[in-house]
Amino acid sequence: MSRVATIAQHSIIQNSIFKTQERVYQRQIQIATGKTAQSFSGIPLNAQRLIGMEARMQRSEIFVLQNGLIEARLALMDSALDNMFEVASELKVRLMQKLNGATGTAGTIAAEASNMLGTISGLMNTQTNGRFLFSGSATATQPVTVPVPNPTTFGVPDATYYNGDSTQLTARASDTVEVTYGIPGNRSGFQNLIGAVKATIEGDNTDNETLLKSALVMLNRALKDLPAYRNEVGASLNVVSRSTERQQEFAVYAMGIISDIENTNIPQAITALSADEIALQASFLTIARLSQLALVNFL
């Protein structure tokens, strides 16, 4: 029991014991849960930093998800443009053969051109997740009317086939990067491509060499424009991809910071727990010895 002579020591040691018991309890929870604290009050010095880092990481994850969708759209657009170029190249070969008199009678390439027109319109009507890719900002609208209507004047490109608008889409790829992307289907390259196919069909059916030559001129323009559109899509894709990489790099960094704040360093916690348990045992021994002291021991 405490005496007047030892009450001060008892108070100091009891306070130390309470603090050590609290540390032992907290260490045991940290080791059992793997977390340094069960609430923000347990990490007062790092609470704001943790909240801020988690918010930034969540925003980064949203950017990565959104960028992934944009990258998928751009990849589909690039593939469609590539296929359009292949179709246009094939049609050019057929047209040149026709104009050189190598393919025989009228009508021999009209059927092929009609099939090519169906392929081109299908590629321009490419969609993903309910969004048409070549409609500009009118993503819910099918850009090319099927069957494709005739132009106002055969041999003159126009956009009578088109139902979308001329607006390119914009998206924020990160806090500091905004990207403009997409190729509206009424651009001159598409007008020339569809106009060339229509002129080929009409010129072949009517044996109109002048119209076939006009088709070849338009086709050459389309073959020049389509690779430029692919380059534009590729540039947008690179911007988005780089932004995604930076967001992913930040996510790794943020996860490290959050882990350092939230998660228990098990080896350190076990070492600290052992030290606290030894200190607690020593405190109990000290209390026991103090309780045995009496004046008679010193007489």
- Domain membership of residue 221 (yes or no) is yes
101 shares its domain with 242: yes
Give yes or no for residue 111 having a pLDDT over 90. yes
Give yes or no for residue 289 having a pLDDT over 90. no
280 shares its domain with 201: no
Give the whole-angstrom CA distance, residue 249 versus residue 245. Answer: 6
CB atoms near residue 275 (< 10 Å)? 14
How is residue 128 annotated by DSSP? Answer: E
228 shares its domain with 293: no
Please say whether the beta carbons of 24 and 280 come within 8 A. Answer: yes
155 shares its domain with 195: yes
CATH of the domain at 158: 1.20.1330.10
Give the whole-angstrom CA distance, residue 162 versus residue 190. Answer: 10
Of 8, 5, 2, 27, the C-alpha closest to 279 is 27
Backbone angles phi, psi at 61, to 5 degrees: -65, -35
| pTM score of the predicted model | 0.74
Give the whole-angstrom CA distance, residue 250 versus residue 218. Answer: 48
Q: Mean pLDDT throughout 262-281?
A: 60
Position with higher pLDDT, 293 vs 96: 96
Count of structural domains within the chain: 2
- Domain membership of residue 132 (yes or no) is yes
- Alpha helices in the chain, H assignment, sequence order: 7-33, 47-99, 110-124, 188-205, 209-262, 266-291
240 shares its domain with 268: no
Of 211, 235, 252, 188, the C-alpha closest to 60 is 252
- Domain membership of residue 270 (yes or no) is yes
157 shares its domain with 25: no
Give the whole-angstrom CA distance, residue 33 versus residue 29. Answer: 6
Give the whole-angstrom CA distance, residue 174 versus residue 178. Answer: 7
Domain of residue 289, residue span:
7-34+264-298
Please say whether the beta carbons of 54 and 296 come within 8 A. Answer: no
Please say whether the beta carbons of 262 and 53 come within 8 A. Answer: no
How is residue 131 annotated by DSSP? Answer: E
162 shares its domain with 272: no
Please say whether the beta carbons of 262 and 46 come within 8 A. Answer: no
Position with higher pLDDT, 46 vs 234: 234
Cα Dmax for the chain: 136
Position with higher pLDDT, 269 vs 254: 254
Give yes or no for residue 144 having a pLDDT over 70. yes
Give yes or no for residue 155 having a pLDDT over 90. yes
Structure-token match 């990258």, residue found: 71
120 shares its domain with 204: yes
CB atoms near residue 200 (< 10 Å)? 30
Classified as helix, coil or strand, 133 is coil
161 shares its domain with 252: yes
pLDDT tens digits along 176-206: 999 999 999 999 999 999 999 999 999 999 9
153, burial (CB in 10 Å: exposed 0-12, middle 13-18, buried 19+): exposed
Q: What is the pLDDT of residue 170?
A: 94
206 shares its domain with 245: yes
- Domain membership of residue 84 (yes or no) is yes
276 shares its domain with 140: no
Q: What is the pLDDT of residue 18?
A: 59
Give the whole-angstrom CA distance, residue 127 versus residue 168. Answer: 16
185 shares its domain with 70: yes
Give the whole-angstrom CA distance, residue 216 versus residue 210. Answer: 10
Q: What is the pLDDT of residue 285?
A: 65
Domain boundary among 256, 273, 288: 256
How is residue 167 annotated by DSSP? Answer: P
pLDDT above 70 covers a percentage of the chain that reads 68
